[in-house]
């Protein structure tokens, strides 16, 4: 596997007017590899990598979280399960072509190493330590473990890039393991004098509608808990940078900046300084490593708690991963990420760490949900899927075609799927081939931008249809996730609730808050207090085209429908574009 980097250059590094310039390169055979296996070797490896870059080479590598003791013996960790520092040295950087394809799609299955009960117990221990004044923030993490069942590391990295675009992405192959990082967090960017750190702390899920999305962004920016977490890390970074900075040069030019990622909003702040003359890369690491955003504060006490709570080493996750590039005349430029959203592969076994910063105001349920939102990127990348629309073709004419195409285009934009130039012709050919009767058309768009449409004869549906209530809630990680907000071929979370009795037409779902959401095959409406209501998107459901038509035509309005409201419902309806509005009857549990 070739080493590759795809880093967003910070505005200060990219130059005026080029805030989103990218450093996108691949590398062939390494000239040499520098590795440290003991703490006393780490500084020598960093010095050698820096000297090679100043001499004109490119160096790409990482420092494990467990290398912390190389810089301060008080920073305790578990023993490392690989080299503490590793850098490959290359003569040149090569172009990375956009049209390179990785081959067979990757498939992985994941399991959590942490139960909810164990998570709650750890949270209680953290809160007790905070109350005792041991520390005021700790970053608590646990690994997801998976198995690569199909495809290659290259295919998995390509899927991760689609799932978590932008940021500071890199893949490295040490021979013993492959590191696949799509981190959105900049650790530091340093040109030998000016240094910029951009800690990330503060998270909120994305909204189901543009208005809700904006509201969640504003709530994140103003939330006292999230701002407190961010300020704690900023203060820690200011203090760390002061150890290598010229007097009075440490500044915080930007606080509480929100960044939109596919499944979450993240909050960052900028801390910058001018380093003292003679500062070396190893000095920068000695001052900053590990980044305060993945330890907590004070750092020494927080890292002691991390070793107590987390039974295994973190590895490259929460360490540093980056590139040293030559900058002419004996100079070099270093850019490192904080390797969150990062996988390690050994053979077919994969590990991905997930975590969050815990303060006195953190609540176990909210933090657990945050972990689910953060893991959405790896869920998306772990199974190939197509974007999906189900349309009605009746006597050669499409029903609600513009609405379906708009929804498909919105999904393609969200998942970064290319829009197919041949789509309209594909649909025209299908309509011409089926000039009479009612047809259910399944339209799919895959990750390469290929569209495929199939038509199936559709018999009329006799109403009223029978609905059943789900036996359990749809978990928030699905109800508030992108595979509910957008229609795709990833439907296992729906299929788990599909009715087994052929007399039952569909299952009515509800979320963990006890709010009715939708069916597994369409939306629902209820006649309550004399008016038809359909659940709002914020409850966690697909914005169905049939639902949209019913709202537009005034047949229904949005309203939250809770489980305790069910006995008062006067009538039910099932709604989708294919079947239209169907009278329904809901069987309530006895």
**Token pair of 370 as six digits:** 């945050």
Burial of 155 (0-12, 13-18, 19+ CB in 10 A): buried
| pLDDT score at 354 | 96
What are the DSSP calls for 289-339, one per residue? PSPGGGTEESHHHHHHHHHHH--S--TTTTSEEEEEEE-STT-EEEEEE--
| pLDDT score at 20 | 59
**Which residue of the set 66, 201, 487, 518 is catalytic?**
201
| pLDDT score at 440 | 97
Residue intervals of the chain classified under CATH 3.30.470.10 are: 387-457
Whole-structure pTM value: 0.88
Directed axis angle between helix 224-242 and helix 210-222, to 10°? 60
Residue intervals of the chain classified under CATH 3.60.120.10 are: 3-381
Do 117 and 124 meet the contact criterion of CB atoms below 8 Å apart?
no
| pLDDT score at 263 | 81
Q: How far is C-alpha 124 from the chain's CA centre?
A: 27
Among candidates 93, 14, 89, 82, which has minimal Cα distance to 50? Answer: 89
| pLDDT score at 19 | 47
Those residues of the chain that have pLDDT short of 50 are 13-19
Q: What residues pair up with 353 in beta bridges, in sequence order?
A: 143
What are the DSSP calls for 421-462, one per residue? TTHHHHHHHHHHH--SSEEEEEEEE-TTS-EEEEEEE-PPPP
How would you label 37-66 residue by residue, b for 16+ Cβ within 10 Å and e otherwise?
eebebbbebbebbbbbbbeebbbbbbbbbb
Q: Tokens 């750890």: give the residue.
A: 122
| pLDDT score at 361 | 87
**Which residue of the set 154, 185, 370, 389 is catalytic?**
185
| pLDDT score at 14 | 41
Residue intervals of the chain classified under CATH 3.20.10.10 are: 465-587
Q: What residues pair up with 59 in beta bridges, in sequence order?
A: 89, 324
Cα–Cα distance between 543 and 411 in angstroms, integer? Answer: 12
| pLDDT score at 100 | 57
Do 176 and 82 meet the contact criterion of CB atoms below 8 Å apart?
yes
Q: Tokens 């590795």: give the residue.
A: 35
Q: Which CATH number among 3.90.1660.10, 3.40.1410.10, 3.40.50.150, 3.30.470.10 corresponds to the domain 387-457?
A: 3.30.470.10
Directed axis angle between helix 401-415 and helix 545-552, to 10°? 120
User: Rg of the chain over CA atoms, in angstroms?
Assistant: 26
Do 419 and 464 meet the contact criterion of CB atoms below 8 Å apart?
no
In degrees and rounded to multiples of 5, residue 11 shows phi and psi of -55, -45
Q: How far is C-alpha 473 from the chain's CA centre?
A: 23
Asked about 201 being catalytic, the answer comes back as: yes
Strands 168-173 and 332-337, how do they pair? unpaired
Q: Give, for 48, the enclosing helix (H) or strand (E).
A: helix 39-54
Cα–Cα distance between 325 and 24 in angstroms, integer? Answer: 12
Among candidates 277, 274, 255, 254, which has minimal Cα distance to 190? Answer: 274
Do 393 and 436 meet the contact criterion of CB atoms below 8 Å apart?
no
Fold of 3-381: Anthranilate synthase (3.60.120)
What are the DSSP calls for 133-148, one per residue? TS-SEEEEEEEEEEEE
Fold of 465-587: D-amino Acid Aminotransferase; Chain A, domain 2 (3.20.10)
């Amino acid at each position: 596997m070739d080493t590759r980097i795809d880093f967003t250059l910070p505005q200060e590094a990219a130059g005026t007017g080029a805030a989103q310039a990218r450093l996108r390169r691949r590398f062939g055979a390494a000239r040499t590899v520098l590795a440290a296996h003991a703490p006393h070797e780490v500084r020598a490896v960093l010095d050698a990598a820096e000297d090679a870059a100043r001499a004109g080479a490119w160096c790409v590598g990482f420092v494990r979280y467990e290398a912390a003791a190389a810089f301060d013996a008080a920073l305790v960790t578990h023993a490392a399960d690989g080299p503490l520092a590793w850098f490959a040295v290359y003569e040149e950087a090569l172009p990375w072509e956009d049209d390179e394809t990785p081959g067979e799609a990757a498939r992985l299955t994941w399991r959590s190493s942490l139960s909810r009960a164990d998570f709650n117990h750890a949270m209680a221990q953290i809160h007790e330590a905070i109350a005792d004044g041991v520390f005021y923030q700790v970053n608590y993490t646990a690994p997801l473990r998976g198995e690569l069942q199909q495809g290659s590391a290259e295919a998995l990295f390509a899927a991760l890039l689609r799932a978590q675009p932008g940021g500071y992405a890199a893949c490295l192959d040490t021979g013993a393991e492959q590191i696949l990082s799509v981190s959105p967090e900049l650790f530091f960017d340093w040109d030998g004098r000016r240094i910029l750190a951009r800690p990330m702390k503060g998270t909120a899920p994305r909204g189901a509608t543009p208005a809700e999305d904006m509201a969640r962004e504003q709530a994140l920016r103003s939330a006292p808990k999230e701002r407190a977490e961010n300020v704690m890390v900023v203060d820690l970074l200011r203090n760390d940078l002061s150890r290598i900075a010229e007097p009075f040069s440490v500044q915080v030019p930007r606080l509480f900046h929100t960044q939109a990622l596919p499944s979450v909003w993240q909050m960052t702040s900028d801390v910058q300084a001018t380093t003292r003359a003679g500062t070396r890369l190893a000095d920068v690491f000695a001052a900053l490593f590990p980044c305060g955003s993945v330890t907590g504060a004070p750092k020494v006490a927080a890292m002691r708690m991390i070793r107590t709570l987390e039974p295994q080493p973190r590895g490259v996750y929460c360490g540093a991963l980056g590139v040293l590039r030559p900058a002419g005349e004996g100079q070099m430029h270093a850019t490192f990420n904080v390797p969150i959203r990062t996988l390690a592969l050994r053979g077919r076994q994969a590990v991905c760490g997930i975590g969050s910063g815990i303060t006195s105001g953190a609540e176990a349920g909210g933090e657990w949900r945050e972990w689910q939102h953060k893991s959405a990127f790896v869920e998306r990348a772990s199974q190939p899927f197509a974007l999906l629309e189900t349309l009605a073709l009746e006597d050669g004419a499409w029903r609600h075609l513009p609405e379906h195409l708009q929804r498909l285009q919105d999904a393609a934009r969200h998942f970064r799927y290319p829009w197919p130039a041949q789509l309209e012709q594909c649909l025209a050919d299908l309509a011409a081939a089926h000039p009479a009767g009612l047809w259910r058309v399944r339209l799919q768009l895959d990750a390469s931008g290929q569209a495929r449409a199939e038509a199936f004869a559709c018999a009329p549906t006799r109403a009223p249809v029978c609905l059943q209530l789900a036996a359990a809630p749809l978990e928030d990680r699905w109800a508030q996730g992108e595979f509910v907000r957008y229609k795709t071929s990833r439907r296992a979370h729906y299929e788990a609730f599909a009715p087994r009795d052929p007399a039952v037409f569909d299952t009515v779902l509800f979320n963990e808050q006890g709010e009715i959401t939708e069916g597994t095959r369409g939306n629902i409406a209820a006649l309550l207090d004399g008016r038809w209501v359909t659940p709002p998107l914020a409850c966690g459901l697909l914005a169905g085209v049939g639902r949209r038509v019913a709202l537009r035509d005034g047949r229904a309005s949005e309203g939250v429908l809770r489980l305790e409201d069910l006995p008062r419902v006067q009538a039910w309806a099932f709604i989708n574009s294919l079947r239209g509005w169907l009278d329904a009857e809901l069987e309530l549990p006895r």
